Amino acid sequence: MRTRPTLSWIPPDDLPPGTTDPGPVVDALRAGGVLVLSGAGISTESGIPDYRGEGGSLSRHTPMTYQDFVSDPRARRRYWARSHLGWRTFGRARPNAGHRAVAALGKQGRLAGVITQNVDGLHQAAGSEGVVELHGSLARVICLSCGTVSARRELAERLEAVNAGFAPVGSGLNPDGDADLDDEQVGDFQVVPCAVCGGVLKPDVVFFGENVPPDRVEHCRGLVRASTSLLVLGSSLTVMSGLRFVRQAAQEGKPVLIVNRDVTRGDRLALTRVALPLGATLTAVAEELGPAGGAPDGP
């Protein structure tokens, strides 16, 4: 059964305020065993906008839903035209200070793992290992008929070949990697089928309205169970795919710490929310805790 996509959340007026003191985050990381859950906010400093922050893409753009993609060929054409244009920028994005700090904390031995809601691969590019891509990766494409998975760069080359000269000026890049184009700009853009069976190609990501694969969810639940605390970085936690792990950690009595400038749907369950920029804050925390390769401090 497909879930109805949750695109917005109206925060109540009585949420606990954020703080500018990262001390509790430092303490948790010093103890070790911290599971990171990251969202779109950690990639904004790499030029990829978030969904709901200031200037977030939802103010101008409704993301593609799974239901529209599989049922409407015109919607698929619009998606692939916008995504093909956006990939030219999205595919060149590079890790920022926040991604590098998470990788450094991992090398210090302070993390139990990294779960990301992002589809940009920037944690791995920064050097983090064993990253769980909760919503998949735009660097891969999957056939909905035969299940063949291929590299996005291969599809980009095929789309370039059949859409020579396609270079409209989009009005902005979105977190899911597509650019804003109107129907006139999409024009007669041609979509290519699976090279193996001729089926419909889809980016290997979880669209809004599509469920995260159950085995992936259970793997993440196991990471929560094995951790000592949960550190949320740059996520509003509006959608259940990430919020469920915050609720699980809280139910298991494990501290939840959030670094996010804006209020989140998990604030009531958190020990603290640090309302500071991610890149500078995480860099300072990683530097305070020690060089790469260091072990968590003892009691």
**Residues with catalytic function:** 135
Strand partners, 232: 37, 258
Is 113 annotated in some ligand binding site? no
165 is in an annotated binding site: no
- The Cα diameter of the chain in Å comes to 64
Q: Crossing angle for the helix pair 278-289 and 97-107, nearest 10 degrees?
A: 20
130 is in an annotated binding site: no
Do the annotations mark residue 51 as ligand-binding?
Answer: yes
Known binding residue 194? Answer is yes
Contact 72, 125 (CB under 8 A): no
Annotated ligand binding at 197? The verdict is yes
- Of 293, 226, 179, 251, the C-alpha closest to 34 is 226
Judge whether 48 is annotated as a binding position. yes
Task: Express the helix, strand and coil content of the chain in percent, nearest 5 each.
Answer: 40, 15, 45
Look up residue 74 and give its two tokens. Answer: 């015109």
Question: 162 labelled as ligand-binding?
Answer: no
Question: Quick one: which H or E segment has residue 274?
Answer: strand 272-274
Known binding residue 49? Answer is yes
Q: Copy the structure tokens of residue 62.
A: 């409704």
Nearest-angstrom CA–CA distance, 40 and 52: 9
Q: Is 58 annotated as a binding residue?
A: yes
Q: Is 55 annotated as ligand-binding?
A: yes
CA distance 270 to 60: 30
Q: Report d(CA 71, CA 238) in Å as an integer.
A: 26
Query: Annotation-wise, does 145 bind a ligand?
Result: no
Q: Is 43 annotated as a binding residue?
A: yes
Q: Does the annotation place 216 within a ligand binding site?
A: no
What one-character DSSP code corresponds to residue 186? Answer: H
Q: Is 278 annotated as a binding residue?
A: yes
Residues 6+ apart with CB under 8 A from 109: 32, 293, 294, 295, 296
Give Cβ neighbours of residue 155 (< 8 Å, ≥ 6 apart). 141, 192, 201
Residues at the annotated binding site for Zn(2+)?
Answer: 143, 146, 194, 197
Residues at the annotated binding site?
Answer: 39-59, 117-120, 143, 146, 194, 197, 234-236, 278
Residues at the annotated binding site for NAD(+)?
Answer: 39-59, 117-120, 234-236, 278
